[in-house]
Structure 1
């Protein structure tokens, strides 16, 4: 990726972001989001009120276009999973993870149609799997294959964005779809797919708020405040499950039962960067190196900004 190059799709996404009307001297945070989940959390918990800065939102369907926007500095920061963060860094994107959360990775999964004859990871041998290149779905598919002693073949993967992969699965163009929440819960509750292999035991469950080096240098105080608001909103959401699930469904436009399912089973918690986080992220990076998807080893330690500590 080259800095400041935008695809047509990204440009269109950013053009649709609501404009920030700022008082003179107020900081503007350009926030990226994936399927509206972060904004929905903050809005439902009332954490977007009385901000000491302005926020301009841009929404993306997956981590890859969000990483592209970070690379172009079209956004300052956004939520990104462990695997796509590693690929972004390996591709030279100048970002750091400044806040960390860990969740139950069940919903990062390999899905099949409800009537599929596939029953275990071993049944994926010779099958076609749809996913985003470099996504947490790509990672979980590789881990699922490895758990059964399998390696991907030349034609194993069809690299497709989530909506296209879902359509390909339902139409039988692929045998399995490796994806993440809320797509997993949406497909399950709609009766369109079932979980063949979940992420439990395969994924660390880590995801991050990652910001550009430029934003961390110039907007650190605002980013720190934003992260604390996310932590408070997460705490509020688990104290008000019915209200938040309903708000989430309404704001991001998915079925209420899918919103509640993916929210409750993820059990997200924001944590400090510690030795376990570093070890888990390094293990993921090393797995991609062994799989031949990274050209050289990535030392994950410099890819974290340790200044943020979630409030107790």
Structure 2
């Protein structure tokens, strides 16, 4: 049986999630390797970037981490931007990014490709305000301060929601913060709203009674990807193919077993089980084939960022996909 080797207490990261920022450097050393001790030295290593340990939680709960023919070293990040930076630097081989963060990474010159895709119900992608806030809709954000993470799906949602409400992006002040810092800013009143995603949305609702004034339904494509470096695709194709197969199987299993996933994820992260049940029940994350409709949707996301000057040049996303990893 594989055993877990922790480089330090990863659970404490999440128990302190609202109390201090989680930097990419600290998280980049939070690797967790699944090791079969008798043959560990002979196994290839796949370095996997995760956000809030969601991929790892699904794989562990669904039993897909058993009998690996390679070792996984997990690197956990609080948001997509530092994970994208780690991919760009080659510090991880593969990791999960939303559609907007992938655009942001590609525009920064990252030599990566989307190798697997999922769709979700973007109810979890939300603009939230404090329980006592007088703000009730996106139009009321004019002249206000919105916290989000630069290049994130939260950033994308804020831009799309403002456009729909006929509020120019220049009519608000964006405050770009990591999630823990953004939460602290919302709680202190130094920002008026926070554009964010699960599990942060669900945790804020449950713990602080944050209110959602807009969500991603009708605004977000609901696409996320497993993104691999070009080098990993070339040098670790077999390991990537096996990992992506296990992820897809685990995601399908999780759709009908949200309670089991939430319990396992709670053990891994320290987040409350009821919060994690909300995450999985409303997200309905399911794998989809990378086809022309996915590519077209991704191009719309890139075009939105270009129009808002988040990226400076036109990005043709067709070259950012690798379709050599079919769904199981």
The normalised TM-score by structure 2 is 0.89
The equivalent of 1:276 in structure 2 is 293
The equivalent of 2:202 in structure 1 is 185
On the 8 A contact 2:255/2:285 being kept in 1, the answer is no
Distance 1:79 1:243, change over 3 A: same
Which of 154, 160, 165 is matched with 1:143 structurally? 160
Listed as ranges, the gaps of 5+ residues in structure 1 are 1-7
Counterpart CA distance in 1 for 2:61 and 2:308 is 41
The normalised TM-score by structure 1 is 0.94
Cα deviation, residue 188, structure 1? 0.8
Cα deviation, residue 240, structure 1? 2.1
Cα deviations by residue, 1:47-80 (Å, 9 ceiling, x for unpaired): 1110011111111111111111111111101000
Counterpart CA distance in 1 for 2:259 and 2:312 is 46
Counterpart CA distance in 2 for 1:154 and 1:25 is 57
Counterpart CA distance in 2 for 1:59 and 1:246 is 19
Cα deviation, residue 114, structure 1? 1.6
Counterpart CA distance in 2 for 1:164 and 1:9 is 11
In the TM superposition, what are the counterparts of 1:55-94 in structure 2 within 5 Å? 55-94=72-111
Listed as ranges, the gaps of 5+ residues in structure 2 are 1-21
The equivalent of 2:4 in structure 1 is none
On the 8 A contact 2:114/2:227 being kept in 1, the answer is yes
Is the counterpart of residue 120 in structure 1 residue 134 in structure 2?
no
The equivalent of 1:3 in structure 2 is none
Distance 1:19 1:102, change over 3 A: closer
Is the counterpart of residue 205 in structure 1 residue 222 in structure 2?
yes
**Greater Cα shift, 203-212 or 66-75:** 66-75
Counterpart CA distance in 2 for 1:237 and 1:155 is 38
Counterpart CA distance in 2 for 1:46 and 1:24 is 23
The runs of 4+ residues in structure 1 deviating greater than 3 Å are 8-12, 18-25
**Greater Cα shift, 20-29 or 130-139:** 20-29
Aligned residues: 304
- Alpha-carbon RMSD: 1.6
In the TM superposition, what are the counterparts of 1:17-166 in structure 2 within 5 Å? 17-18=31-32, 23-153=40-170, 156-166=173-183
Distance 1:147 1:254, change over 3 A: same
